[in-house]
Homo-oligomer: A and B are copies of this chain.
Amino acid sequence: MAENGYDDLEKQKLLLQQHEEKHFTSSEIIRDIIIGVSDGLTVPFALAAGLSGANVTSSIILIAGIAEVAAGAISMGLGGYLAAKSEADHYMRELKREQEEIISVPDIEAAECGEILAEYGVEPHEYEPVVNALRRNPQHWLKFMMKFELGLEKLDPMRALQSALTIAISYIIGGLIPLSPYMIFPVAKDAVIASILITILALLIFGFVKGHFTGEQPFKSAIQTAFIGAIASAAAYSIAKVFRV
């Protein structure tokens, strides 16, 4: 098996170009939209349903819902931004540390490099040329250690901001769906029924689309997503009933 590997490198490269692998790599923006809409549909929905169980008027439910959507969007958005920024800072700190190690203890770093490949059953005489190639170019060596030793990849700082805005806007859009009936029906009892119907429908559609993008079975994903919303709102409703005024 090992012998026929590189008889014709050019042919291999050609094959490689033709053969485009269709592994699913979820776009990060889609992931952010999913996080935002999913939480936005569930939590304000459950809060509104819960409050309707405590004999509260539609207008107070609406205020509570909108206040929650605002707080949730800011917390998720700003929180997401700072988390991404802190991840980027973490990368830079580790990069600097690894850089210093390559300069101050190159033999140890080279041995670590070999250890990484040895984990995959590669013998010292087989990985030595690769380790030497990396030592030839410290920039490549550094990148190799960051990815293969630490599993870290460079983050785009603009992504942090984009991610924060995407999550926040998605949360607001998701959150306004269950709240919209409370804007129309002044009696909470009527509004809650309309809210349950449109939100369960929205959760099913959203779960289906989400399943399509994440590579899960769309129907299973639809049921699961609606199930979380149902459980959360049932719990909020029961608790509010217990504590009601």
Contact = CB atoms under 8 A, between A and B. Distances in A.
Interface in A60-92: 60, 62-64, 66-68, 70-72, 74-76, 78-79, 82, 86, 89-90
A23 to B, nearest CB: 6
Given A46-B74, A56-B60, 4 more contacts: A5-B131, A6-B110, A47-B64, A63-B239
Contact of A42 (B23, B45, B71, B137): B71
B68 A236 contact: yes
A121 B135 contact: no
Number of copies of chain A assembled together: 2
Nearest to A61: B64
Contacts of A111: 9, 12-13, 15-16
Nearest to A11: B107
Contacts of A59: 243, 245
Interface of A: 1-2, 4-6, 9, 12-13, 15-16, 19, 21, 23-24, 38-39, 42-43, 45-47, 50-51, 54, 56-57, 59-60, 62-64, 66-68, 70-72, 74-76, 78-79, 82, 86, 89-90, 93-94, 97, 101, 105-108, 110-112, 114-115, 117, 120-137, 140-141, 143-144, 147-148, 150-151, 153, 214-216, 224, 227-229, 231-233, 235-237, 239-240, 243-245
A9 to B, nearest CB: 6
